[in-house]
Amino acid sequence: MINNIKPFYVYEENNSLFIKNINEKIDKISNNVISYCANFDDNNFIHICTIDTKGKLIHFMYKDGKVRRRSLCKVCNNTNSLKNMRLFIIQNILNVFLVEESPIKDNYYRVSHYNFSPSNYHLHKYHINNIVKNGECIYRLNIDNMSNMILTYNSIVNNNRSDINTKTLIFNYSNKKWVSTHNLFRSSKTFYDFKSASTIKDDIFEYCYSINYKN
């Protein structure tokens, strides 16, 4: 199905969001956009998630020039603290990852995860605080061959910046929770190698095969 996706651009201009297809047709998606991310599902619907100027997370579903819009929730009070957002779709479930810089502590970040299905919009929210940047990377997200999301990040131990702890969490789709790798029940039936080959490449948009982002 990925081969049936025609190339397109999703881009922002003057806080308005547009989508442009291979035939040069341009559709306006929304106004008042601060940040956005996009991906497509198994049915070739294009999903776009945005943060507007009021700090609200909004989902758009686009196909053949038709757009469906749904406002989900308020995700931040200060949009200036937003660093980036990414969208991953697994088994037609949307996973939005949002990075905010702490307004209180320099070089501290929070990663928020919003998990929902466009069929019912039952939203699950998760927040991971006190993350510190590792080089150029705030966090790494991989997806293994069993569609498990694996999140790796660094945190400070006891507010001591010289003592950095690397943590790895795995998202359990059965109970919709992030689980520490230390807490996994490693039986032959349930344990898997979370270091297995990823289907994405170091949390960059190469995962989005034909989506091009234009600044």
Q: Alpha carbon 72 to chain centroid distance?
A: 15
pLDDT digits (tens, 9 = 90+) for 62-86: 988 888 999 999 998 888 889 999 9
pLDDT digits (tens, 9 = 90+) for 202-213: 333 333 333 444
34 close to 51: Cβ distance less than 8 angstroms: yes
Q: Can you read off the two tokens belonging to residue 127? A: 């927040």
- R_g (Cα) of the chain, nearest Å: 18
* CB burial of residue 17 (10 Å; 0-12, 13-18, 19+): buried
Instruction: Give me the count of residues in the chain.
Output: 215
| Parallel/antiparallel/unpaired status of strands 56-63 and 66-74 | antiparallel
Structural domain tally of the chain?
Answer: 1
In the chain the beta strands, taken as DSSP E runs, fall at 8-13, 16-21, 26-30, 33-40, 46-52, 56-63, 66-74, 82-90, 93-101, 108-116, 124-132, 139-143, 149-157, 160-172, 177-180, 211-214
Q: Which residue has the higher pLDDT, 188 or 22?
A: 22
- Neighbouring CB atoms inside 10 A of 32's CB total 14
Q: What range does the domain containing 149 cover? A: 2-214
Where does the pLDDT of residue 133 fall: very low under 50, low under 70, confident under 90, or very high at 90 and above? confident
The residue assigned the tokens 């991310």 is: 37
Q: pTM for the complete prediction? A: 0.80
Is the pLDDT at 134 greater than 70, yes or no? yes
39-45: average pLDDT? 88
Is the pLDDT at 186 greater than 60, yes or no? no
CA dist 31 → 53, 68, 88, 98, 151 (Å): 9, 15, 23, 20, 32
Percent of the chain with pLDDT over 70: 78
pLDDT at 211: 42
17-40: average pLDDT? 87
